[in-house]
Chains A and B, each alone.
Chain A
């Protein structure tokens, strides 16, 4: 009923805290985003330099040492052939899920609060997958033979076994990396054009190249919008498939603790648990450290993300209990020993911390609106959830590998060089994100403006209520 919409209504104070009801001229928003990329303090370079050193020493230095000495310098050995390398792989793929989930699912459902931070979340996907890929390559040992994974014609006529979950992994992660990078790039084209129009020097050349000649004609927008809709729908099943396939690396094996039909959705929800929490953490840091970001990333964003974290924490608890109960009930001797080992073994504290940080803390705190809207507390909860999810993967991989059906092989995994390599991947992720924040417009300004155009206030009786128009 368009006649009920009254755009002349003055925005009351309770709405002006929402970005969609607090518009600025597009030129001003463009300038703010450009300024956030171009103004860099010395502190930024100190942190970047430190992280660069950590990456150099802990990632590439330690990896070089690993390649030179062989996998013997790592802790992986019978029965835990998969150690922190695989913990890191699963963890980083989990982190990568949030970007696509937040961006694609919220786009499909037209959730308006997504608009200012989809880009920041999508960047996490790409950089998270880079760390996951590196972790797999480290675990290979002889990394220069990585191409054995790929299907290529060779003189012996050998092919990878495509009926193995490890080959599915290769295909799924490659598909997801390519898809998420393309999904990141498409909505960036108009922002690159915006940056091109207000840059000089090397930035002008860079953005001119990346904008591909985009002007914003009707045809260009139509092709772009159609493609983004296809991506938003199609990338979701790909996202679900990736972590499901990662879970099959475990679930397809007849091992105590792993052989579970619910591992697929349990892994997916675990990925979302860590990923959404990581999005919250990244947004808190971006808002606190980058110029003008307080305008774009408002407390309403943390409020919505906090609710999402609470719902996903509940879902994770449901899947965890379902997996636990069925394994507990089946009466298998070695599964029973393993479950007791999880709780009361030498690393039992990790299992309990996993439950406390993943369930108790989010449930105790995130129902409270004031807590959800406090960036520092939300950051802390996000950090604890990610620590818990790292513990969860540690419990699933090396701790569960300790107990098998051959008791004479039982031995607790003690990591070696993997610890340094893990530090390296964490530093590399943060470093890549920091450097990208100097080049990539972190806020999709055109999407924010589109959202602000779609929002209006209308009178229903004596109340003023927000209304959102369907512009597409």
Chain B
């Protein structure tokens, strides 16, 4: 893989970027070797890209379950640790326990959803990465790896499709 090279093609709009992705696939670049970087969320079907996997919903469910257990521990466990009968209620009354369990379940779910974004996106990460600031100005970058033999033909094909520039993707400090 020593002769592989990372290139960054910059497009003004989604349509030429989608055409470029299709062209790259036709020229033998696999989906694993392509990444699209954009300043707005561009969905996979728009670009003809495979569905992106995310663990965020599963982490949210796991967090909700953990929160539920904490809620049960607070509402049911603590009265057992130090029994005090309050207001003529049973030691473990159901309706008030539901409130505590609900709040802790929601807190667990939301915190784990938040942390899920950090885990899945590997945030924070301040090491140098392939990026150019024009992306946050609305341009769309197609980042891909190809062999040096194919570089010339790919660059020329992407320019025909409307690439504003096709440059070596250099990692830079964000």
Contacts and interface: CB of A to CB of B under 8 A. Distances in A.
B40 A449 contact: yes
Interface string A264-297: 0000000000000000000000000000000000
A196 interface: yes
Interface string B124-167: 11110101010111100000000000000000000000000000
A172 B123 contact: no
Contact of B82 (A159, A193, A196): A159
A417 interface: no
Max chain A C-beta neighbours (<10 A), residue from B46, B89, B102? B102
Interface in A195-226: 196-198, 208-209, 211-226
Max chain A C-beta neighbours (<10 A), residue from B86, B106, B127? B106
A165 to B, nearest CB: 8
Given A168-B99, A171-B103, A222 B52 contact: yes
Interface in A37-80: none
Given A162-B74, A211-B174, A27 B137 contact: yes
B35 A224 contact: no
Contacts of B33: none
A214 B46 CA distance: 21
A182 interface: yes
Contacts of B133: 197-198
Contact of B110 (A30, A179, A211): A179
Contacts of B39: 26, 190, 194, 216, 446, 449
A213 B126 contact: yes
A218 B35 contact: yes
Interface string B103-117: 110110111011011
Nearest to A194: B136
Contact of A213 (B78, B97, B125): B125
Contacts of A25: 137-138
B121 interface: yes
Contacts of A197: 133, 136-137
Given A30-B136, A193-B136, A212-B123, A159 B106 contact: no
Given A171-B100, A214-B123, A217-B36, A163 B86 contact: yes
Contacts of B23: none
B43 interface: yes
B28 interface: no
Given A27-B137, A27-B138, A151 B110 contact: no
B107 A30 contact: no
A159 to B, nearest CB: 4
Interface string A437-472: 000000000100110010000000000000000011
B93 to A, nearest CB: 6
Contacts of A213: 122-127, 129, 174
Interface stretch (A10-18, A231-239, A318-326, A421-429): A231-239
Contacts of A380: none
Interface in B24-61: 35-44, 46-47, 49, 52, 54, 56-57, 60
Max chain A C-beta neighbours (<10 A), residue from B44, B89, B107? B107
Given A213-B124, A217-B36, A230 B107 contact: no
Nearest to B75: A162
A197 B132 CA distance: 9
Contacts of B111: 178, 182
Contact of B41 (A26, A162, A174, A225): A225
Contact of A178 (B46, B47, B107, B137): B107
Contacts of A158: 82
B94 to A, nearest CB: 10
Nearest to A450: B40
B106 A230 contact: no
Contact of B120 (A27, A167, A219): A219
Contacts of B43: 471-472
Given A158-B82, A196-B174, A163 B114 contact: no
B116 A227 contact: yes
Contact of A212 (B36, B124, B138): B124
A254 to B, nearest CB: 11
Contacts of B4: none
A190 B42 CA distance: 13
Given A27-B138, A216-B136, A226 B103 contact: no
A13 to B, nearest CB: 26
Contacts of B122: 213
A175 interface: yes
Contacts of B41: 221, 224-225, 446, 450, 471-472
Contact of A241 (B36, B96, B103, B174): B103
Given A159-B82, A208-B126, A212-B123, A227 B37 contact: no
13 contacts: A25-B137, A27-B137, A212-B118, A212-B121, A212-B123, A212-B124, A213-B124, A213-B174, A214-B123, A217-B35, A218-B47, A223-B54, A224-B41
Interface of B: 35-44, 46-47, 49, 52, 54, 56-57, 60, 74-75, 78-79, 81-82, 84, 86-87, 89, 93, 96-97, 99-100, 102-104, 106-107, 109-111, 113-114, 116-118, 120-127, 129, 131, 133, 135-138, 174
Interface of A: 25-27, 30, 151, 157-164, 167-168, 171-172, 174-175, 178-179, 182-183, 185-186, 189-190, 193-194, 196-198, 208-209, 211-227, 230-231, 234-235, 237-238, 241, 245, 446, 449-450, 453, 471-472
